[in-house]
Amino acid sequence: MNDNILKQHILKVLEDSKVGTLATVKDSKPHSRYMTFFNDELTLYTPTSKETHKAEEIESNPNVHILLGYEGEGYGDTFVEIQGQASIETSGEYKEKLWNKHLEKWFDGQDDPNYIVLKITPGTIRLMNDEEGSPHTLEL
């Protein structure tokens, strides 16, 4: 599969799947949690609080792993594995872009100083369980 077709398959999974797992590393051990992801092309964004373990873990080690997809019966569902670098974004641009009413449960608004956005820049994306001889790897 050429990279352009692979990218289109990956983007379909990213558009169709908003909830996945984010794994960080602390003391050489992985820590995973469910997150809601939004994408701009292949770059992912997720809102969170700066007062979380994941924010601390990313500050000390920005390497992350994300799983998205696998939402149907679980047998043979197409999904992506993403290895990338996370950064903590506090600019109003990112915060405004991701803000929605569901975040009111945790934050006092877009200007809440605890509200941050994690930006994940992928290094490698693997498309799994597609019907064309997966896995397929896109190196960025």
Residues 87-98 pLDDT 10s: 999 999 999 999
Q: 5: which DSSP letter?
A: H
Task: Specify the length of the chain in residues.
Answer: 140
In CATH, what number is assigned to the domain containing residue 76? 2.30.110.10
Q: What is the mean pLDDT of residues 61-79?
A: 85
30 cis-preceded (ω within 30 degrees of 0): no
Q: Are strands 43-49 and 115-128 parallel, antiparallel or unpaired?
A: antiparallel
How high is the mean pLDDT of the chain? 92
Band (pLDDT 50/70/90 cuts) for residue 1 is: confident
Question: How wide is the angle at C-alpha 44 spanned by C-alphas 4 and 67, nearest 5°?
Answer: 85
Q: What is the mean pLDDT of residues 52-77?
A: 88
The structural domain count of the chain equals 1
Q: Could you tell me the two tokens for 128? A: 């799994």
**pLDDT of 74:** 63
Domain that holds residue 112: 3-139
